[in-house]
């Protein structure tokens, strides 16, 4: 778990540093950082899709996953419940930053594969690399949304911690095929978050989160035959 702990600490530190600089950053400079964050998210998402799609053994699974997951998420209104929680916590505009941060920190390939590598092979390389990237990202996000971005740190810890424990308990259940399909769907979610930040289209990415469950269930069932 040392890699996950390091990743969590870098987000806390990055958010703290970014929030300090926020006070001295002009509105137009914050907008520039916000645009840069949107471009970065879009690029990271596209990169995850491009890297993993050639390795997919179920070429249309990501389409079904996005369609089914988005429909389920819209029906249960994940985004709406998240916004209500944000309003109760009086974080307002921060809710968009939190949702973006959670996606960037948790749904990336390194954040998913890292805990598995650590659990199965005691290899923390992915997690330490991810920690470095998240340190920079959290500073940029916090410079726009403030120190409330520190709330993403415990979410990341629980996410990576859960994957670590599952990988330790289930071992070979989390196949290479499953991780590939998860990374493709996750890439689309990250890219959609970037598109929303850039105001190209208002995509409720939180409603698409159930899409991540579909490839897990499909690959689990497929593995039985």
Mapping DSSP onto H, E and C, the string for the chain reads: CHHHHHHHHHHHHHHHHHHHHHCCCCHHHHHHHHHHHHHHHHHHHHHHHHHHHHHCCCCCHHHHHHHHHHHHHHHHCHHHHHHHHHHHCCCCCHHHHHHHHHHHHHCCHHHHHHHHHHHHHCCCHHHHHHHHHHHHHHHHHHHHHCHHHHHHHHHHHHHHHHHHHHHHHHHHHCCHHHHHHHHHHHHHHHHHHHHHHCCCCCCCHHHHHHHHHHHHHHHHHHCCC
Rounded to whole angstroms, the Cα distance separating 211 from 63 reads 10
Reading the block at residue 125, the tokens are 């390389």
Position with higher pLDDT, 188 vs 26? 188
What percent of the chain is modeled with pLDDT above 70? 89
Read off the pTM: 0.73
pLDDT band at 13 (very low <50, low <70, confident <90, very high): very high
Position with higher pLDDT, 20 vs 90? 20
Comparing 82-86, 126-130, 180-184, the range with the smallest average pLDDT is 82-86
Rounded to whole angstroms, the Cα distance separating 48 from 46 reads 5
Sequence-distant (6+) residues with CB within 8 A of 138 are 10, 11, 13, 14, 15, 18, 101, 105, 149, 152
Rounded to whole angstroms, the Cα distance separating 105 from 100 reads 8
pLDDT band at 10 (very low <50, low <70, confident <90, very high): very high
Rounded to whole angstroms, the Cα distance separating 147 from 158 reads 20
130 CB neighbour count, 10 Å cutoff: 28
User: Is the per-residue pLDDT at 7 higher than 90?
Assistant: yes
Give pLDDT, residue 23: 64
Comparing 44-48, 50-54, 82-86, 159-163, the range with the smallest average pLDDT is 82-86
Give yes or no for a contact between 78 and 207, defined as CB atoms under 8 angstroms apart: yes
């Amino acid at each position: 778990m040392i890699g996950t702990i390091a990743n969590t600490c870098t987000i806390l530190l990055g958010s703290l540093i970014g929030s300090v600089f926020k006070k001295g950053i002009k509105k137009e400079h914050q907008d520039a950082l916000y645009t840069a964050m949107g471009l970065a998210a879009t690029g990271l998402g596209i990169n995850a899709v491009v890297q993993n799609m050639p390795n997919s053994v179920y070429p249309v699974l990501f389409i079904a996953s996005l369609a089914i997951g988005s429909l389920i998420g819209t029906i249960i209104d994940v985004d709406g419940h998240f916004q209500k929680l944000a309003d109760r916590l009086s974080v307002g505009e921060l809710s968009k930053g939190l949702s973006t941060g959670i996606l960037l920190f948790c749904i990336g390939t390194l954040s998913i594969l890292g805990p598995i590598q650590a659990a199965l092979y005691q290899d923390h390389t992915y997690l330490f690399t991810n920690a470095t990237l998240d340190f920079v990202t959290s500073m940029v996000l916090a410079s726009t949304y403030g120190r409330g971005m520190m709330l993403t740190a415990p979410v990341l810890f629980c996410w990576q911690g859960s994957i670590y424990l599952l990988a330790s308990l289930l071992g070979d259940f989390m196949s290479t095929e499953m991780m590939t399909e998860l990374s493709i769907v996750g890439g689309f979610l990250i890219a959609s978050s970037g598109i929303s930040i850039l105001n190209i289209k208002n995509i409720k990415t939180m409603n698409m989160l159930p899409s991540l469950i579909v490839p897990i269930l499909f690959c689990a069932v497929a593995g039985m035959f």
